[in-house]
Amino acid sequence: MSDIKLDRRRFLKISTASVFGTGLVLAIKWDELPADNKTLLIKASPFQPNAWLKIGSDGRVTVFVVESEMGQGSSSLMPMILAEELEVAWDDIAIQRAPLKPAYGYQATGGSSSIRKGWATLRSAGAMARQMLIQAAAQQWSVNPSDCYAENSQVIHKQTGKQQSFAQLAQLAAKLPIPENVSLKSPNEYKILGTSVPRLDIPGKVNGSAQFGIDVRLPNMLFATTVHCPVIGGKAKKINDSKAKQIAGVEGVYKIDNAVAVVAEDTWSAMQAAKALEIEWDEGANKNLSSQQIQQQLENAAKNSTRVKFQQGDLDSPGAAKTINAHYDMPFQAHVPMEPMNCTALVNDQGCEVWAPTQSPTGARNTAEKYGLSKFNYYLEKISRRLDFSERDVVDVHTTLLGGGFGRRIQQDYVAEAVQIARQLKQPVNLTWTREEDIQHDFYHPYTFHVMQGSVDANGKPHSWWHRIAAVGQASAGQLPYAIPNSKIDVASVDIAVPTGPWRSVKHHYYAFAQETFFDELAALGKQDPLQLRLELLTDPRMKKVLQLAADKAQWGKPLAEGHFLGLAVHKSFGTYVAEAVEIALDDQGLVNVVRVVVAVDCGIVINRDTLLAQMEGSVVFGLSAALKSPITLKDGRVQQNNFYDYPILKMSEMPKVDTFIVKNNESPQGIGEPAVPPLAPALANAIFAATGSAVRRLPFSQGPSD
Amino acid sequence: MAQFTLRINGEDHKIEAANDMPLLWVLRDKLNLTGTKFGCGVGTCGACMVHVEGEPVHSCTLPAIAVKGKNITTIEGLSANSRHAVQRAWVALQIPQCGYCQSGQIMTAAALLEQNPSNQISNQIIDSSMNQVLCRCGTYQRVRAGIKLAAKMMKEDS
């Protein structure tokens, strides 16, 4: 146990820098809960010591979860953290989506940040409740609280073995003051953390009962779909909807910001009618935009203005024996979560209600407020939020399960559309995009172009390293993890109309690909073993450790089966270290078959072991799709891909064996949803380089070699 | 507009729908059986798989009227209380991540095992059937293991 002093004011209202730059209020005490919540909870729950849990008289512990569940497991992992400190049996845990109240701060799930953001808070919240339950028992038995402990939803007196359940103690605990200090367990005392307790969301996902956004059904509900100008940024000029309106079940056609909406009795009729619309588009400024043109703009940008992200030594210092120059490029990638974009909304005189599969309930609320309210309700909402006087919610967001997110659902475009349509109707409407609209109107992983220059000294050791990145949108990069005496990373951001946004692992995907693939090129130039050279030049011992582990488990340096080759890469992102070793087999035609991927991961303390493994497996698949499958390309201002037949993702027969190995330690827990994506593409490229002697410098590999 | 009767999960439903309306949308929007999912609309992703007379079919491209009078099974009707071996295996191996494609995975796997009741089911057979169902979360390795586990469970149950 380690004691931490609860600065009560701090615990009540801690502001912490979040990735969104907004103050995050971590917890509030019971009597600060908004009035409407309080009445609800008093009836149902005798004990709610803070905003994160309540314990019912039946002993059920309800944990409030702010994270959106998109498959990454947060809705089970966050309760595990709290349950560990509370000493509650896992079977007694239930979850409830946290309401959009100030106590929970800006609600958004992204950047593999859930565990890092919630770790301290949820431990303290659970420990606080445990201490109060122990105090309650001690009071009843007239014994010293330090002679009591909690285990398995019971408080037990050490000397006599007397015990009482949390259910029995809840009422009394609620009357006790919030403790000044809480004791947190040390990792060697953990019983739940690090195990593979079954996830709470799985049972509903095997029988069709799990409710995703697209499944929301309300009385008197209509269905809609939207059509966007095929040219990026274009708008509808003239709409002829006479044919569309002849389709049975069609209720109306509406022009909204950036789209034309068709409303019907069912989704199918809406989609059929959308096809029958005759729309004259104002294609705007981007009608000539093409991938070639973008490539040219990036290449030009890479020659000129740049921002230095990392620098040491002097690139021009003498000592280079051999040099190598290379260009890497990576196209736009779409997210294609299996659940297409959708949102359900109801706008009436009372305000606006939204049901959305969104990574950001707060973002959805802000969007609904902007597009879905009358002037009167807009100001009423502003005032009631400022005063936190929420007798009724003018805007309310119900966050459903997400059928995949990957960064796409941090955006709110589908929410904006649904509430605009709902404003026309005064009855609920479920908006669903077609897959074609989803692929052609995404916020893409940015197109990037990389200029790599490196040199080795007379001993074949790296002497200089220069990595320049030009990216559509906001270019970024991290530090070089290798101690190369003269090195520099700089970036150029290029303003192009194609929308870009976070995509699983964000910048790490593009800069790790160029960095880790070029590293093997430089190693080859100096006739060095890529593993040994990495181990020599890496400065972070945790990074070395995962790399060595992946290499060992993949039998690096040992004879492989005939025609098999290995490639390695290592990268740290979102606080977590991941090394991957990809084993490929070349067939007679020279086709690459990915046989096995070894993943070594150090994410600090493991919350749920099985979820960690699942995230590693899933990230490998995500990385393989990006490395082997289609790019998003543009011609005449239009995205050229339509659906899974021309934007394929990895399928079952292409799935390699994935073996994950975990480095165990007691470092603070870090992100797991994204960090295994970035090493995949370079490790695979390095395996192909090892097999063929020619470097793979362009993603996806199916596009053929770069010039 | 046509009127016809669909036999879904053992129950008859009177339907009024356009002649070309796919079964998927009848299930989802007319009957509120939302366990069957829309993923692509063109029969390429498999999120919409249901059984018609035990055969796995893409409900997104199949006109509902074409299967009137046939026995249709959706994920909701696969078993009572998720007791089908495939569902038990899916829970045991914690297969779903986001879960959106899993109705399609489970229905396709259940049909596959019905046709190949061997507990020695090969990867090739699994691939040829399961290639129809895409998973963006990347649960393929577990789906493969889940099918093998379910095959074993079915053998033990019989």
CB distance from A77 to chain B under 8 Å?
Answer: no
- pLDDT surpassing 90 at residue B120: no
CB distance from B146 to chain A under 8 Å?
Answer: no
Task: Tell me which chain A residues have a C-beta less than 8 angstroms from the C-beta of B126.
Answer: 652
Out of A205, A248, A643, the one facing B96 most closely (by C-beta) is: A205
Q: Comparing A2-199 with A214-284+336-440, is the CATH topology the same? A: yes
Q: What is the pLDDT of residues A34-86, one digit of tens each?
A: 434 433 333 345 799 999 999 999 999 999 999 999 999 999 999 999 999 99
Distance from CA of B105 to the nearest CA of A (A): 10
Q: Would you list the domain boundaries of chain A?
A: 2-199, 214-284+336-440, 504-703
Distance from CA of A406 to the nearest CA of B (A): 9
Rg (CA), chain B: 15
- Low pLDDT (below 70) residues in chain A: 1-45, 305, 387-392, 703-707
Task: Tell me which chain B residues have a C-beta less than 8 angstroms from the C-beta of A646.
Answer: none
Which residue in chain A has the smallest CA separation from B30?
A266
Which residue in chain A has the smallest CA separation from B128?
A653
Out of B36, B106, B127, the one facing A206 most closely (by C-beta) is: B106
- Whole-angstrom CA distances from A564 to A10, A71, A540 are 57, 33, 30
pLDDT given for residue A387 in this prediction? 67
Q: Which long-range contacts (CB under 8 A, 24 or more apart) does A457-463 make?
A: A457/A319, A457/A320, A457/A321, A457/A526, A458/A319, A458/A321, A459/A526, A460/A321, A460/A525, A460/A526, A460/A527, A460/A528, A461/A526, A461/A528, A461/A533, A461/A536, A462/A522, A462/A526, A462/A533, A462/A537, A463/A319, A463/A320, A463/A321
Task: Tell me which chain A residues have a C-beta less than 8 angstroms from the C-beta of B16.
Answer: none
Cα A608 from Cα A199, distance rounded (Å): 9
Q: What is the pLDDT of residues A185-214, one digit of tens each?
A: 999 999 999 999 999 999 999 999 999 999
Note whether A618 contacts B126, CB cutoff 8 Å. no
pLDDT given for residue A505 in this prediction? 97
Task: Tell me which chain B residues have a C-beta less than 8 angstroms from the C-beta of A625.
Answer: 136
The model's pTM is 0.94
Mean pLDDT for the stretch of residues B64-86: 98
Query: CB of A223 within 8 A of CB of A267?
Result: yes
CB distance from B125 to chain A under 8 Å?
Answer: no
Out of B47, B74, B87, the one facing A206 most closely (by C-beta) is: B87
pLDDT given for residue A23 in this prediction? 23
> Two tokens at A4?
């931490």
Distance from CA of A623 to the nearest CA of B (A): 10
Query: CB of B95 within 8 A of CB of B150?
Result: no
Query: CB of A564 within 8 A of CB of A592?
Result: no
First to last CA, chain A: 60
Q: Is the peptide bond before A462 cis (omega within 30 degrees of 0)?
A: no
Out of B35, B96, B127, the one facing A653 most closely (by C-beta) is: B127
Question: Which one, of A160, A156, A129, lies nearest residue A145 by Cα?
Answer: A156
- Whole-angstrom CA distances from A330 to A70, A592, B46 are 26, 20, 29
CB distance from B37 to chain A under 8 Å?
Answer: yes
* Residue A217: Cβ within 10 Å count: 14
pLDDT given for residue A45 in this prediction? 56
Task: Tell me which chain B residues have a C-beta less than 8 angstroms from the C-beta of A206.
Answer: 82, 87, 90-91, 96, 102, 106
Note whether A199 contacts B25, CB cutoff 8 Å. no
What's the length of chain A?
707
Task: Tell me which chain B residues have a C-beta less than 8 angstroms from the C-beta of A208.
Answer: 33-36, 74-76, 103
Residues 656-685, chain A: which have Cβ within 8 Å of B? 657-658
pLDDT given for residue A4 in this prediction? 59
Note whether A71 contacts B90, CB cutoff 8 Å. no
Task: Tell me which chain A residues have a C-beta less than 8 angstroms from the C-beta of B38.
Answer: 214, 267, 340, 432
CB distance from A199 to chain B under 8 Å?
Answer: yes
- pLDDT surpassing 80 at residue B53: yes
| Domain A504-703 in this protein, CATH class | alpha beta
Note whether A339 contacts B143, CB cutoff 8 Å. no
Task: Tell me which chain B residues have a C-beta less than 8 angstroms from the C-beta of A653.
Answer: 127-128, 131
| Domain A2-199 in this protein, CATH class | alpha beta
CB distance from B149 to chain A under 8 Å?
Answer: no
Note whether B34 contacts A215, CB cutoff 8 Å. yes
CB distance from B135 to chain A under 8 Å?
Answer: yes
Note whether A618 contacts B138, CB cutoff 8 Å. yes
Note whether A403 contacts B98, CB cutoff 8 Å. yes
Burial grade of A321 (CB within 10 A; 0-12, 13-18, 19 or more): middle
- One of 3.30.365.10, 2.60.120.1030, 3.10.20.600, 3.40.50.970 is the CATH number of A214-284+336-440, namely 3.30.365.10
* Residue A527: Cβ within 10 Å count: 10
Out of A272, A610, A622, the one facing B94 most closely (by C-beta) is: A610
Task: Tell me which chain A residues have a C-beta less than 8 angstroms from the C-beta of B78.
Answer: 207
Residue owning tokens 């490029």: A329
CB distance from B56 to chain A under 8 Å?
Answer: no
Query: CB of A439 within 8 A of CB of A642?
Result: yes
Residues 90-119, chain B: which have Cβ within 8 Å of A? 90-91, 94-103, 106
Out of A196, A198, A207, the one facing B82 most closely (by C-beta) is: A207
pLDDT given for residue B117 in this prediction? 84
> Two tokens at A549?
């582990």
> Two tokens at A95?
């979850």
CB distance from A337 to chain B under 8 Å?
Answer: yes
Question: Which one, of A342, A83, A338, lies nearest residue A205 by Cα?
Answer: A338
Distance from CA of A609 to the nearest CA of B (A): 12
Residues 435-454, chain A: which have Cβ within 8 Å of B? 435
Cα B102 from Cα B99, distance rounded (Å): 5
pLDDT given for residue A42 in this prediction? 37
CB distance from A71 to chain B under 8 Å?
Answer: yes
Note whether B139 contacts A651, CB cutoff 8 Å. no
